[in-house]
Structure 1
Amino acid sequence: MALGFTGARQQTELCNESLMLEKLPICGKFFEEMMKKVDSKKWCNLTEFIMYYDNFTQCTEREANNASCFWPNPLAEGFITGIHKQFFSNCTSEKVHWEDPPDEILITLILIPVMLTCAMITLVVWCSKRSDILV
């Protein structure tokens, strides 16, 4: 590694993509072994396997750097995406179906601010007329 004019580190070696692609499956195998410890019904709950996933991402980053490659890079991202498809393809988020509340509740929610606004206007007008009488 050499220092550039701005002091930033520049990569002087070329990325050895074949070495990186050879080493990344080791990270995937380790992650797969760790995920066997987690009940497959809990694979969509990140808190159940966050440490394993953190180790997996650190491993992919380390192997990319060992091959003089930046991380993330398109090849590493492709590998990580494959792991995601293998373990998390059934974890699609369900779309929330929003519904209006029942009419009684909706009318109440609309009328309360309207009534409070009317009451405040009335109070302000009444107080301002009263101050005119007192002066």
Structure 2
Amino acid sequence: MASTRVTVLSCTFVMLQLLLAAGLCPDMQTYDSWMAWCEDEFTYSVNISYICDWTQTIEPYSRVTKCAEAVSLTLNCTDRRRLFDVFMLDLHRRFFANCTPLQEPDFDAPDDVFAAAVAIPTILVWVAVFAWTYWNANKR
């Protein structure tokens, strides 16, 4: 089943390249149609109930990314990076909006760790300066 879909995908892009080589001028409607096709492929291949599980989603996500890049490259869009970004942001808004990280990252250290990280080097510097001064004073 997967090899059939890959073959269909490959044949479709070959057909698109042949149409463009024949001199047909693509417009935004053509671009939108192909991007809708990429999105349909993503929707078909991803299990919506596991959309937030990256291990289940990574392969279809990779394919939709490659599909979108191939369409914008093949159509020779002048502003392809912006178009790609808009497409991917829209895809994220619609499919991944309700996904939350498994655990919120802690950006700040706990207060006691922070205090120790500041106090220990400060005290060590004072002790080192005192020891160096004391050693130099006794050396004379």
Name the TM-score, length of structure 2 as normaliser.
0.59
What is the root-mean-square deviation in Å for CA atoms of aligned residues?
3.3
| Structure 2 partner of 1:79 | 87
CA contact (8 A) 2:45 2:60 kept: yes
Q: By how many angstroms is 1:80 displaced?
A: 2.8
Deviations 1:22-48 (A, max 9, x none): 111111011112221771342xx4x54
Show the counterpart of 2:126.
Answer: 118
Would the alpha carbon gap of residues 80 and 109 (structure 1) be closer, same or farther in structure 2, given more than 3 Å must change? closer
Offset, 1:91: 3.4
Where does 1:61-80 land on structure 2 (aligned, <5 Å)? 61-70=69-78, 71-74=80-83, 76-80=84-88
Q: Specify the structure having the higher radius of gyration (Cα).
A: 1
Structure 1 residue runs of 4+, over 6 Å off?
Answer: none
Higher relative contact order at CA 8 Å, sep ≥6: structure 1 or structure 2? 1
Structure 1 residue runs of 5 or longer lacking an equivalent are: 1-12
Q: Which residue type is aligned with residue 86 of structure 1?
A: R
Alpha carbons of 1:97 and 1:106: their partners in 2 closer, same or farther (altered >3 Å)?
Answer: closer
Structure that is richer in helix per residue: 2
Q: Do residues 39 (structure 1) and 50 (structure 2) align?
A: yes
Distance in 2 separating the partners of 1:40 and 1:68? 31
How many equivalent pairs are there?
114
Structure 2 spans left out of the alignment, 5+ residues: 1-23
CA contact 1:14–1:69 (8 Å) conserved in 2 = no
